[in-house]
Amino acid sequence: MMTKTQLLKTRLLEIGASLNNSGHALALLALGSCGKNQELMDEYSDLDFFVIVKPGYKMQYIENLDWLKSIFPAAFYFRNTDDGYKFLYEDGVFCEFAVFEKKELEKLGALDGSIVWKDKDFEGLELQMEPTFQINQILDTEWMLGEILTNLYVGLCRFRRGEKFSAYKFIQNYAVDQLLRLLLTRTPQSAIEADKYDLSRRIEFRNIITADLLSSFIQGYDKTPQSALSILQFLDRNFTINQFIKLKIEELL
């Protein structure tokens, strides 16, 4: 049986092979620990990648994910940016990816990663540093729930790895901020205008959450799993959430 790390590396190659067979892809670029730093990969890593496609085919690869689903069954996914998705396979492989056409390479800047697969005619990408482009977020309920759940999942993976501070940020900062934003969208317009730069400003005066509940979401550096559990239970009580990723989060807890 393969280890999780072997599974991740194999899945990345399978994605490259699927793109090669898809007919209109140009390259698969692996970023982060699945890129040029694969020695850092472990059982709690995920797959971050960019897909470069031929002109006119970007939306085809975004709207039809058969090139991913044909490899192994999908359990949960949502479109988290204009350009891509967060995507979880049934075997626990978690992906975060974006799709670009070659003409968009300039806005990506130089990237810190490696080329997993490329078409023989593909040229013109510098791999050196982090991307500098900005994305437009789709602030709807499905998007926000997906962000919260995947922040919990990634945060708990990092906690299990021993990255307690990063886990704290993902769960008690990023997930909580997104949850407050979600609750604000479900509340009648307040006379107190939201601060577009800092969502936490005057949150106590908006009647969207009690102090006790908020405290249970932010229990501190040493209680990140407890905070994650409280957030997950709140979501499950008040929203319809994907039960597969809920189970995966509970397993990490």
State whether 85 and 185 are in the same domain. Answer: no
Whether 110 is in a domain gets the answer yes
Rounded to an integer, the average pLDDT of 118-128 is 69
Q: Which of 118, 149, 182 is the last residue of a domain?
A: 118
State whether 112 and 159 are in the same domain. Answer: no
Classified as helix, coil or strand, 83 is coil
Q: pLDDT band at residue 136, thresholds of 50, 70 and 90?
A: very low
41 token code pair:
């990969």
Between 54-58, 138-142, 148-152, 218-222, the lowest mean confidence (pLDDT) is in 138-142
pLDDT at 169: 97
Whether 104 is in a domain gets the answer yes
Q: How far is residue 159's CA from residue 44's CA, in Å, rounded to a whole number?
A: 9
Q: Report the helix count and the strand count for the chain, using DSSP H and E.
A: 10, 6
Whether the pLDDT of residue 102 is over 90: the answer is no
Whether the pLDDT of residue 17 is over 60: the answer is yes
Q: pLDDT band at residue 103, thresholds of 50, 70 and 90?
A: confident
Closest CA to 29 of 94, 118, 149, 115: 115
* pLDDT tens for each residue of 48-71: 999 999 999 999 999 999 999 999
Whether 163 is in a domain gets the answer yes
Total number of domains constituting the chain:
2
pLDDT at 37: 80
Q: How far is residue 191's CA from residue 225's CA, in Å, rounded to a whole number?
A: 35
pLDDT at 184: 82
pLDDT at 47: 95
Amino acid at 159: F
